[in-house]
Amino acid sequence: MAETGIRFMTFGISPYCEKARWALDWHRIRYREIGWPPGLHQILAKRCGAKTSALPILLEGTTVIQGSSAIIDWAERRAEDHARSLAPSNSAGETQEIERRSNEITAVHVRRLAFAEMLPNYAHFVKPGMGHDSGATPFPLMTQSGLKKRKATRTV
């Protein structure tokens, strides 16, 4: 989107960030998206005044809005066309339940599936998104060709 005073901090692969992005786009709110690498995001979130290191974070001037639910609520309040609401007033409870299930159930499994599929065979694609520009592997047991073989040991 075009340059604006609103900055939207995200992870590249995150259902929470995607959900907030959809709400901003739906309401035609202009923002500048900035991708933060995992790990480093903890320091950056603290520096921008966020209460925790969780992403997404939306910054508007000195105002910090953190978390997809809070960003969606902010976008709803800021929307110019209230007929395009993502949460009609007559179904607020149902909307919140769908969002809760999305956060607590669906997103967890989508993340697991994405990493399970990508890490063994595509670690070289995942590493840059994880903030690793060096040749070091972010996961000690991973190589670009897949999992390293480990000796099975059993302690009795």
Number of domains in the chain: 1
pLDDT at residue 147 is higher than 90: no
Cβ distance 55 to 6 under 8 Å?
no
Average pLDDT over all residues of the chain = 77
- Domain annotation covers residue 156: no
- Domain annotation covers residue 95: no
* Cα angle 7, 80, 56; round to 5: 30
Q: In this predicted structure, what is the pLDDT of residue 65?
A: 96
Q: In this predicted structure, what is the pLDDT of residue 129?
A: 52
Tokens of 127: 């590493």
- Domain annotation covers residue 11: yes
- Domain annotation covers residue 15: yes
pLDDT in tens, 109-121: 877 887 777 777 7
- Domain annotation covers residue 119: no
- 89: burial class by Cβ within 10 Å (0-12, 13-18, 19+)? exposed
Highest mean pLDDT among 5-14, 63-72, 78-87, 102-111: 63-72
Q: In this predicted structure, what is the pLDDT of residue 139?
A: 40
68-78 and 15-26 are packed helices; what angle lies between their axes, rounded to 10 degrees? 0
Cβ distance 64 to 57 under 8 Å?
yes
pLDDT in tens, 74-116: 999 998 887 788 776 666 677 778 778 877 887 778 778 877 7
Q: In this predicted structure, what is the pLDDT of residue 127?
A: 58
- Domain annotation covers residue 35: yes
Highest mean pLDDT among 7-16, 121-130, 142-151: 7-16
Which residues constitute the domain of residue 18? Answer: 6-87
